Every structure is written in structure tokens, then in C-alpha cells.
Structure 1
Amino acid sequence: MSVIVIGLQELVASLEGAPVRLRTFAAKAVEVTARTIRDDARQRISGHRYLPQYPQSITYDIKPTATGVEAEIGPDKDRPQGPLGNIIEYGTSKNAPLPHLGPALDAAEPDAEHGITIAVQDALL
């Protein structure tokens, strides 16, 4: 019995480039998700009388790591009302919490998983 394999060299060449493509595609997926979470959180917290500038303090940063890419999403403490983020999200003994970042993160989870799945599939093509 003999086996003839056709296209093996092309497959090997394609798989050798997969890690670089995956890093690029995963970074795009993470950035889209971070932007979605930021925009959703801003929407959820908009319209509060005493927090007119807080929504615009919510930003995101993307940074590559040794193992992939990560996003940090939340209020920028250098922007107006940004330092109020923890108080607003979690409340105090005298102020009820106004959850907006946590719910935005939870809402984005299915899209994030889908985006990473597509990134992996595209990297292997």
C-alpha cells in the first residue's frame, strides 16, 4: 500500500506563517472588542446630571505581550471625572453603584469569542 500526499509543501508553508497572522488578527479582534466595550460603557453611564464628563474619560489601550495582546478598558484618571471610576462602578457606603463597565464587558463576551474564532480560522488559511 502506498499513500500519495499532494499539497503538503503548501500546507506546511501556510502553517509556518500562521503564528504571525494569528497575532495580527487577534490584535484586531481585541481592538474591536475593546472599542465595543468602551462605547457600550459610555452609553450606559451617559446622561447622569453630576457626571457630564465621566463617559468621555472611558478609554482603552491595546498592548502586545509576550503571549499575545491585551486591552485595558476603563476611565483614564488624567481626564475630567476619570478618578471617579471605582466609586461610580462599585459605589460607596453612601452612594449606590452605577455598574456600566462590568455589564459592558459581559455583553461583549460572545462577540469577543466569535472574533477570536474568526482570527484563528483566518490565520490558518
Structure 2
Amino acid sequence: MTFLVDFNLDGYALLFLGILTKIGWLELVSIRFVTFREARLLMDASDRLVWCYAQENQMMILTANRNMKGEDSLKQVMLHRKIQQIRFLYWQLQISIALTNLTTESDVLSILLRLF
């Protein structure tokens, strides 16, 4: 498990890593902390950039300093992503349902026209 550590939590991440080591968790679970510096992210990187970087690199974000307002806020970026996932799942479901009800070529054409 890899965590992207927001620039204001570098010290806390080290402390947390020390605690996990002391109680033996690191013997059970592979945990890695990546700082903004290691990721070559600027301290004032937008929430959208931080989120995208974390997603592309399969990281969880450890933060206490992200913005909750505006189009590029972490909250909005995550909400937008969830909406995209829900839409994708909806279309998959619609296609699956449509495919089970096919009987003729005109049925296929009709379904494709409705979906797109």
C-alpha cells in the first residue's frame, strides 16, 4: 500500500511509519510513504493534479490540507470521478440488459441508437 503524503504531513508520516514498525504492522503489510518532493509535485499543486497523480500511481492520499471549495477541490474532483464511474456502470448495465433482449438486427440498431 502506497500513500502520497501531502507536503504539510511529512513529519507525521515518519512518526506514523515508526509506530507501524514498532507494533509490527510492516511485517504483515507493505506500506510506503511517498512525499511530494519524491513525487516531484509542488507544494501548491492543485487538488486535481494531486488526485490524478495518486490515481495514476495507485496511491492513497494522506492529507489534512486539501481544498474543499471550487471546481478543482479534492472533494469536487472525487465527486466528478464517482459520477463518471456511476455513468459507466449504468451504460454497462443498459448494454447487458439490451443484449439479453435481442432477437433481430433491427433490435440491435434500435438499442445502439438509444444508447448513443
TM-score, length of structure 2 as denominator length: 0.33
Higher normalized contact order (CA 8 Å, seq sep 6+, divided by chain length) = 1
TM-score, length of structure 1 as denominator length: 0.31
